[in-house]
Amino acid sequence: MRIAATNLALFLAFCSPAAAAQPQNILVIYSFGRFLPVNIAIDQGLRAAIQSPTAEPVIVFDEFLDVPRFAGEKYLDSLAAFIREKYREQQPAVIVAVGEKALDFVVDRRAALFPQAPVVHLAVYRTRAGSRPLPADVVGSWVAFDYDRTIDQALRWHPQVRRLLIVIGTRTPDRRYDDDLKAAAQRFAGRLAIEILEGLPNAELSKRLRELGDDVVVLTNGFYLDEDEPRGSPRESARRMAAATRAPVYGPYETWLGNGIVGGYMTDIAAVTGTAGKAISQLLAGAAPATLSFPAIAATRLNVDWRQLRRFGIAAEAIPYDAVVHFGDRSVLEEYRPAVIATALVMALQAGLILLLMYERRARRRAESAIQNQRAQLAHAARLAVAGELTGAIAHEINQPLAAILSNAEAAELMLESGPGRLDELRAILADIRRDDLRASEVIRRLRALLARQAGPPLPFELNEAVRDAVSMLGSEARRRETPLDFRPAETDIVLSGDKVQLQQVVINLLLNAMDAVADLPPGERRIILEARRIGKEAEIVVRDNGHGISPEALGLLFDSFYTTKAQGMGLGLSIARTLVEAHGGCISAESHPRKGARFLVRLPLGDKNSGEACEAPDPR
C-alpha cells in the first residue's frame, strides 16, 4: 500500500505542469553580514520550516548585501547583476528578503532579478510598511520592538529604579529603531528621569556606564563598533555595555541573551521564520501570493537570562509564566522548590541522625572500654583478695623449700668439717638445694603472674598447662585443708586465645568454692575433680565436688554480684568468673543434685570469640 501511494505521488508530480516546471530553489537575500547572529538564527529557522511539496528537495541559497560595510547604488547594481548571472541556471522559485535593505534591493531591481519569483520578506521593521507600497507578489509580516513592555517589566523587576538610560551608538543599525526607542522612553517620562546617551565614543561611553548606580536601567538597540573590528556587531556592543556597568541592561534581540543583558520583549524568531517558511512552502506548491495571510506585526515574547535575574535578585515567582527563560537551572531549583526544600530537609535530617549515631557509637565505645578497664581492675582486686586468702598456704609453700635448703646447707657444712672424701654426697646435697630453690621461685613466679595488674592482649596459651599451674598454686592450700584436688587434663593439647591469668583466676575461684563446699565432710570423703576436655569446637573445664550442693533457689542467683551464703563470703567470685569467661566469648553454668554436690561447667570457643549463647541451657553431661 505504501509503495503504491508513493508512486502515485511521484506520478502526479510529473504530470502536473506547475510542479514539473517549478524549480525548488529558494534564494534568501540578507541585508547584513553572513555571521550576524540573528541571520544565523533566521537561516536555521527557515531551513527547518520550509517543506518541499514534491519529492525533490528544496535547495536554499543565501546572499548577503553586507550593509553597512558595503553600500551605494553602484555596489548594489553590480551585486544584482552578479546574482542574476550566478543563478542563471538555478533560478529561484521564491526569493526571501531578510531585513529592509534586502527588501528594497529586491523590489528596486525586480526586473533584473528573476521577476517571475514571488518575494517573501521577513524581519523588516514596521515603518517600511507605510513608506512605499509593495507589489502584489511581495508579501510578508512586519516586526516591531516592544520597548514599552520591556521598560514596564524592567520597572517591576527593579522597583528602586528612578532613571532610564537610552544608549544610542554612532553607527546605529537603523535610525528608526532608535526613534521608536526614544518615543517609548518618553512615554515613561512621568515615572522616570529619561537620559539619552547618543553618539559617544566607545571609551567615553564605557566610562559613563561604569559610573552608574543601581537606580538606573539601561535600554539599547546596540550599535556597530569600529569598522575594523570583525566581531563588531550590535550584540558585541551590548555585551560590552553590560560588562561595563552595575545597572541592568535590556535590549530587543534574542541573540543577545547570554552576553550579560537581562532580557526584554523580543521578536520571536522561531515564530517569524515559521510563518515565512509556511508561506514559502505554499508558494512552492503553487499558491498565489495574494492568498497568503500574515500577522500584521510578528509576535514578541519576553526572553530572560536566568543568571542575570539571579544576579539582580529577581525571584523565579516574579517571572511571567509565558516568558522564555534562557540558561535557567530554574527547572531544578525553583520549579521544584518545595521538593528541593523537602529533599534538602530530609538530607539535613539524615546528616543530623548520622552525626548523632556516630556520636552515640563513640560514646558507646568509650563506655565499653571503661567497662573493660573496670572489669580488669575488679578482676585484679579479686586476685589480690584470693592471694590474701592464700597467704598462709603460699608462705608455707615457700617456707618448705627454704627450710629444706637450710637443713641441706647445714648438712653440707658438717660434711666439710668432717674432712675430705665426701664429694659425691656434697654434689647430691647441692642438687637438692638447687631443686628446692627452683621450687620456691616457681611459687613466687606463679604468685606474681596472678597478681599482674594489666590484662594483656589476647595471646595463645595451652589449657592443660594453664589449669595445672592454677592447681599447683592451690596445692599447699589444698594440703592445709586436707582436700585432694584431682586434676584430669585433656588427652591432647588445647590451644586457646585470651588472657591466661584471667582463666586461671576462674579455675582458682571454682576450686576455692569447691573446697569450701566439701569442708563439712570428713577429710577422707572429700572429692574435687577438675577436668579439661575438648568437645567439638569448644574447650570445657568442669569442676565437680561432692559437697553440700546448691539449693534450687540459689541456682538462679549464684552468678549475681554479692550473692553469698558464707559468713565471710563477698559474693564476687562467681560473678567475676562469669564476666571473665564471657569476655573470652565463653559461658559458665552450674548445676547441682541434692546430696551429690555441685558441678560447674566453663565452655570456651577454640577459634574466634563467639557470643556464648550456648550457655543458656546448661549441659547435663
Interface residue list for ligand ADP (CB under 6 A): 509, 513-514, 517, 545, 547-550, 554, 558, 563-566, 569-575, 598
CB 548 → ligand ADP: shortest distance, Å? 6
d(CA 498, CA 607) in angstroms, rounded, equals: 11
Residue placing its CB nearer to ligand ADP in the complex, 52 or 565: 565
> What's the min distance (Å) between Cβ of 371 and ligand ADP?
20
Closest CA to 598 of 474, 522, 524, 511: 511
Of 260 and 547, which has the nearer Cβ to ligand ADP?
A: 547
State the amino acid at position 230 in one-letter form. P
Residue 523 CB, nearest approach to ligand ADP (Å): 17
Q: Which are the contacts of 180, defined by CB distance < 8 A and separation ≥ 6? A: 127, 144, 145, 147
Classified as helix, coil or strand, 76 is helix
Provide the edge-to-edge strand list for the sheet that holds 597-605. Answer: 485-488, 528-535, 538-545, 597-605, 587-593
Dihedral in degrees, nearest 10, Cα atoms 441, 445, 448, 450: -130
Query: For residues 61 and 563, which CB has a smaller minimum distance to ligand ADP in the complex?
Result: 563
Q: CA-to-CA distance for 159 and 176, rounded, in angstroms?
A: 29
DSSP string, 318-366: GS-TTPEEES--HHHHTTTHHHHHHHHHHHHHHHHHHHHHHHHHHHHHH
User: What is the helix (H) or strand (E) element at residue 598, kind and residue range?
Assistant: strand 597-605
What the block records as the C-alpha cell of 27 is 534564494
DSSP state of 225: -
Minimum distance of ligand ADP from residue 590's CB (angstroms): 7
Nearest distance from C-beta of residue 510 to ligand ADP, angstroms: 7
User: What is the residue-wise DSSP string for 480-495?
Assistant: HTT--EEEE--SS--E
CB of 537 to ligand ADP, least distance (A): 27
Residue closer to ligand ADP, measured from CB, 327 or 559:
559
Smaller CB distance to ligand ADP: residue 314 or 518?
A: 518
| 66 and 36 Cβ atoms separated by less than 8 Å | no
Question: How distant is the alpha carbon of residue 134 from its chain centre?
Answer: 64
Provide the minimum distance between the beta carbon of 550 and ligand ADP in the complex, in angstroms, as a whole number.
Answer: 5
Q: Which is nearer to ligand ADP, 247 or 470 (CB)?
A: 470
99 DSSP 8-state letter = S
Question: Please, is 167 exposed, middle or buried when counting C-beta atoms within 10 Å of its C-beta (0-12, 13-18, 19+)?
Answer: buried
Q: Cα separations (Å) of 484 from 70, 505, 528?
A: 126, 19, 7
Residue closer to ligand ADP, measured from CB, 400 or 561:
561
276 or 514: CB nearest ligand ADP: 514
Residue 609 and residue 603: Cα distance in Å, rounded? 11
DSSP-derived secondary structure for 120-157: EEEEEETHHHHHS---TTEEEEEE---HHHHHHHHHHH
Give the residue at shortest CB distance from ligand ADP.
573
CB 614 → ligand ADP: shortest distance, Å? 21
In terms of CB distance, is 46 or 382 closer to ligand ADP?
Answer: 382
Nearer to ligand ADP, 307 or 375 (CB): 375
CB of 498 to ligand ADP, least distance (A): 21
CB of 378 to ligand ADP, least distance (A): 13
State in angstroms the smallest separation of the CB of 512 from ligand ADP.
7
To ligand ADP, the closest distance from the beta carbon of 539 in angstroms equals 21
CA distances from residue 465 to 470, 490, 495, 513 in whole angstroms, order as listed = 9, 10, 10, 21
Query: Toward ligand ADP, which CB reaches closer, 500 or 548?
Result: 548
User: Cα separations (Å) of 316 from 101, 221, 257, 268, 400?
Assistant: 40, 26, 18, 22, 98
The Cα 501–Cα 508 span in angstroms is 10
Indicate the length of the chain as a whole number. Answer: 621
Q: Which is nearer to ligand ADP, 304 or 528 (CB)?
A: 528
Cβ proximity to ligand ADP: between 220 and 513 the closer is 513
State the Cα–Cα distance between residues 218 and 179, nearest whole angstrom.
16
Cα distances from 412 to residues 350, 403, 421, 427, 434, in angstroms, run 85, 14, 13, 9, 13
Least distance in Å: CB of 521 to ligand ADP?
12
Cβ–Cβ < 8 Å for 587, 615: yes
Q: How far, in Å, CA of 547 to CA of 595, rounded?
A: 7
Q: Select 279 or 576, whichever has its Cβ closest to ligand ADP.
A: 576
**What is the closest distance, in whole angstroms, from the C-beta atom of residue 507 to ligand ADP in the complex?**
13
- Cβ-based nearer residue to ligand ADP, 148 or 591: 591
Shortest Cβ distance from residue 571 to ligand ADP (Å)?
Answer: 5
Cis omega (within 30 of 0) for bond into 68: yes
